[in-house]
Amino acid sequence: QLQLQESGPGLVKPSETLSLTCTVSGGSISNSNYYWGWIRQPPGKGPEWIGSINYSGSTFYNPSLRGRVTIFVDTSNNHFSLSLTSVTPADTAVYYCARPKQLAVGGCFDLWGQGTWVTVSS
Amino acid sequence: EIVLTQSPVTLSLSPGERATLSCRASQSVSAYLAWYQQKAGQAPRLLIHDASNRATGIPARFSGSGSGTDFTLTISSLEPEDFAVYYCQQRSTWPLTFGGGTKVEIK
């Protein structure tokens, strides 16, 4: 069945760029028009949606991240990636990739990766 | 953005009791509200989508209701595995937003 797996560095220095990849296995990103998402969860807090992308590269971002975020898709390698620039300790969180239940733009998420912990510290 | 306020923050109950969790939106989200359950060290698990529809494999003791700005998640009779944190999420408007959570703990 379809599975998602996040990968990337667990430690990033302040002011640098956080880069994560979500690899999709058991199915193709291109098969349906899902808006695949990145969601993060700081320690002890609720989840925060970061942004979403579909197979053609159409994106939606959370304005709270003030232009620091880029999400891009690589259909040939069946993965999508997150880039978050100028990180601060406030960006320390568990980062999840997820697939929405709905094909429509804007969904709730019924399939999640296991999450990857990212610490921002010098 | 639409702010989701969950109450109470903590709910202390015993197994077998009924749990009633609330989620209030700062503006109407129609029926585009979901509920998740999260246990320590795990990703959130979708329970309810579009206010009242149970996700695949979710037991019938979980039910959702509401529309517009006021929503409720009810667990009819708490099982030991139901003690966890619950979040609501709206998909009516970008950006997608989540509530701050309700922790259901054992009394």
Smallest CA-to-CA distance from A95 within A51, A32, A63 is with A51
The H-or-E segment that residue B106 falls in is strand B102-106
Q: For B59-77, how does the pLDDT look when each residue is reduced to its tens digit (9 = 90+)?
A: 999 999 999 999 999 999 9
Q: Is the pLDDT of residue A66 over 90?
A: no
- Encoding tokens for residue A81? 């990636």
Q: What pLDDT sits at residue B96?
A: 96
Q: What pLDDT sits at residue A3?
A: 96
Q: Quick one: average pLDDT of A97-110?
A: 89
CA angle at residue A56 from A106 to A117, to 5 degrees? 65
Mean of per-residue pLDDT scores for chain A: 94
Task: Kindly list the residues from chain A whose CB atom is less than 8 angstroms away from the CB atom of residue B98.
Answer: 46-49
Least CB–CB distance from A46: residue in B34, B45, B99: B99
CB contact under 8 A, A46 and B100: yes
| Partner A contacted by B69 (CB < 8 A) | no
* Distance of alpha carbon A101 from alpha carbon A104, whole angstroms: 9
* Distance of alpha carbon B93 from alpha carbon A5, whole angstroms: 27
